[in-house]
Structure 1
């Protein structure tokens, strides 16, 4: 016997919170991807919210719903690539030594350059212009992160696991080398005769690891 009066089944109210959350994430991802491209190509000054909305395929009003101002969106783009980079360094913290730690860090950073080239370009452009928007990141989070990784490198040196080098300059070299594949991607593609293939990327990772690890007196992993 039907529970509803008149024999009609009761209507089931479906929980749409998961759907709304998925839609919000999809829109935010589309906005951030579009913003990375526009900021990378036009810079902060040349970018407009309308350009970003058009590239994301969303009305400008929707863009402002998620990000009230261009500066807020810009900081989110920078914050995202920064957090991705920070996560990549986790491989160094608990590694047995530099071959494993620095090797895994190079792999991760190279893969980030492959997947998020525009985010890297936005960061590079911001820093080259004196970091007018993200100077606070450099003075706080990045400085603390760098000091922590330098401590790991000093420990490996003290344990005799690598040659004595200046940890800060080693990190600068790692950043410059791995991010070069994003920031100067067009130059690399031109010299390569086209975009790097999966095999090209694998070979690049192997070469970078071998060059850097041998330079600090560590045999590269097989």
Structure 2
């Protein structure tokens, strides 16, 4: 079982007084839930399947997370927090073009190392984002707004060509996350031997490098 998931900040953290075994069980449940939710979405996922994959009884799982929604929100909260990390790394004092190209690289690396998390978010968005709410989402919105304003300031100062800042970010999200969300489709169309590790980075650096060339 993979354990690539980041520690959730909401719902997934160890409770006060929990034993080491209980803390371990919580992490195992979250890993199993990530596999299940990323593959089937919220409605298609089964608590019974998650418990089975975690090697626990359903009753034991419900001791840690009383409802499927609580478990799902713990994963989603952790994912949204993690998803915003590469964006916060944009340095206002750095070279704008290199900062944005570095952001593309970080997003692509995140997609490579966290494909299940990317698919989980994609499934949530396709359902209209009913569980995307609260302070976590507001925090992410503030980060996006701050970095959108930063890109606009770079453009206004002539440090990069004029670009539509929100849609520049949207295009980066779409192009990088596509490699995780549609991995099966890409491999079916291009063949199982298709290089979707290094080639995308070279292509995207060329694409955005040309777009941002002053």
1:144 to 136, 142, 145: 142
Moved beyond 6 Å, runs of 4+:
none
Distance 1:121 1:41 in 2: 8
Indicate the structure with greater helix content: 1
TM-score (norm 1): 0.78
Q: Which residue in 1 is equivalent to 2:156?
A: 158
Q: Which residue in 1 is equivalent to 2:11?
A: none
Q: Which residue in 1 is equivalent to 2:200?
A: 204
Local SS of the residue matching 1:92: coil
Distance 1:132 1:169 in 2: 23
Displacement after TM superposition at 1:168 (Å)? 0.4
Distance 1:79 1:105 in 2: 22
Distance 1:44 1:37 in 2: 12
In 2 relative to 1, CA 188–99 (structure 1 residues): closer, same or farther, beyond 3 Å? same
Local SS of the residue matching 1:93: coil
Unaligned runs of 5+ in 2: 1-17
1:134 to 132, 135, 138: 132
Local SS of the residue matching 1:58: coil
Distance 1:211 1:169 in 2: 15
Distance 1:94 1:118 in 2: 31
Kindly report the root-mean-square deviation, in angstroms, between the aligned alpha carbons of the 2 structures: 2.5
Displacement after TM superposition at 1:24 (Å)? 4.9
Alpha-carbon contact 1:93-1:152 (below 8 Å) kept: no
Distance 1:133 1:41 in 2: 17
Alpha-carbon contact 1:121-1:183 (below 8 Å) kept: yes
Q: Which residue in 1 is equivalent to 2:107?
A: 109
Q: Which residue in 2 is equivalent to 1:125?
A: 123
Displacement after TM superposition at 1:132 (Å)? 1.3
Displacement after TM superposition at 1:36 (Å)? 1.8
Alpha-carbon contact 1:93-1:149 (below 8 Å) kept: no
Alpha-carbon contact 1:31-1:53 (below 8 Å) kept: yes
Distance 2:42 2:28 in 1: 18
Count matched residues. Answer: 198
TM-score (norm 2): 0.81
Distance 2:135 2:177 in 1: 18
Alpha-carbon contact 2:81-2:136 (below 8 Å) kept: no
Q: Considering Cα pairs closer than 8 Å and 6+ residues apart, tell me whether 1 or 2 has the greater RCO.
A: 2
Distance 1:196 1:106 in 2: 21
Q: Which residue in 1 is equivalent to 2:83?
A: 85
1:50 to 26, 48, 51: 48
Distance 1:24 1:151 in 2: 44
Displacement after TM superposition at 1:159 (Å)? 2.7
Alpha-carbon contact 1:97-1:156 (below 8 Å) kept: no
Local SS of the residue matching 1:125: helix
